[in-house]
A and B are shown apart, each in its own frame.
Chain A
């Protein structure tokens, strides 16, 4: 179908999308890169009109050396890692469960998927107040019922709480994708394995899990990209306090709260590099898939 005529038409029709995205990517990126080499504190009188001082890599080293950097990396890793482990493990189990013949499967599926459609600010607030509140929250009631002292979740177990909230939001995503993948498993393969005398457990490890490996990788990569930039959940619960200041949140605070644009921009560059490392792996998989 590739005639000269259709090829030039195609180029023309692709132009708006490409130009828009190119602008969306390049303009802010260039600005961030520019600011990251400048001293730019608008509250202290620096302004674009009067020109900014070139400070070389100072912002980059200061961002790395600040006392909040390593804790933020730790918080990021804990939260991203925790959520990934919980959602993938539970996701696989749930997918297998939902793949079994059950009554009302459609409804159960809907129940399990529902959290994904809840906007982040709502789920954060509902969990924070109605479940994790140390006085009136559901957990507090539950703890008291069993005679235990209620826990102040968001201050005493803040990271765990955030992990819990975010996992609740993302478990449906993992489950749904893994369920879709499981359903594409050829039932004859399982039957062949059964004929070959494989037990339920070995069927899981030798057939189901390898079949799911690609889907699991995709879940991990996509979630990582989204989880690296979770914002609203922290914004409305702890506001970055109690060890929940992730890299994203730290950069946000540098830019918005302390108005240190240069420093925040340097942090932004780090975040972009980090996201790109993950993205490269995701692209590989998606790209391979395109060739089919």
Chain B
């Protein structure tokens, strides 16, 4: 109960096409993350699914039913907004109950569902407060509560964590994942943060300029990025991309190697270089090394124990089995 299929869905504002015709299949119970840089059309795509924007062409099917012309409220979807969009003049209880009130459910049923949602989200103690009296994380939970009570076919999240501070974000990330496991309902989640995408998704959809660059599980995307854009976007720190002579040695226009796949040695190796800035995370250290292989410094990961001073000489060697090769169009060479 929650499959969503987009067929040739297209969106343009006036003469500007933000999403060229696009197909996408989201299965029931999946946690799908739309990720991409700002302005890539991921939020627009979500709003098209929600029905908050009209499609300029194509068909949206929800559970096999053509939902393209159905108004948002009747699509059976619930949305959690970036700003949470809580009704400031209503108590938490009334906020959560609002969709049920609109659906004209009887009071006993409303109370039951609100109570259950508050229970799941640890909001019982706050039911009679106004949103203004809550912390960011609590507001987030109220917004989720408002979505849960409708028992929707799918949840839509529009960058729900971007207004929280870093520590809370990690906590809420876990809570949302936990919620997904418990409810087993389809969730579509929009973010620009690839860490959120990697940690939460069953399936990631990478978007750029309205075009789907790749769809796949987090590990698929990480291990076999379909093109240079995905390679650079997924993974932190970014994959090292090397063009020119070194790439030609591998019959490619560009080669990519992730920081953890570069061996660091002080005595011997493929590329000689000088250590620039080192970033110590405790468990790991990232060294930015200027080599003769590329104009840009390469990032290499080492264990936290390795200490190399600014300006020291090192050798980097890529592990050949982890080398990614891309052609002149930026596409992966198998």
Contacts and interface: CB of A to CB of B under 8 A. Distances in A.
Most B-side CB within 10 Å, residue of A2, A3, A5: A3
Interface residues of A, number: 5
Give the interface size bracket for B toward A: under 10
Contacts of A66: none
Contacts of A4: 54
Contacts of A2: 53-54
B65 to A, nearest CB: 19
A3 B53 CA distance: 5
A3 B54 CA distance: 5
A1 interface: yes
Interface in A1-37: 1-5
B71 interface: yes
The secondary-structure label for the interface of chain B is loop
B71 A5 contact: yes
A4 B51 CA distance: 11
A2 B71 CA distance: 12
Interface string B46-76: 0000011110000000000000000100000
A4 B71 CA distance: 11
Contacts of B71: 3, 5
A143 to B, nearest CB: 59
B49 to A, nearest CB: 13
A1 to B, nearest CB: 6
Nearest to B54: A3
A224 B52 CA distance: 44
Contacts of A1: 52-53
Nearest to B52: A1
Contacts of B54: 2-4
Contacts of B52: 1, 3
A1 B51 CA distance: 9
Nearest to A3: B54
11 contacts: A1-B52, A1-B53, A2-B53, A2-B54, A3-B51, A3-B52, A3-B53, A3-B54, A3-B71, A4-B54, A5-B71
Interface of B: 51-54, 71
Sort A-B residue pairs by CB-CB distance and give the 4 closest, nearest first.
A3-B54, A4-B54, A1-B52, A3-B53
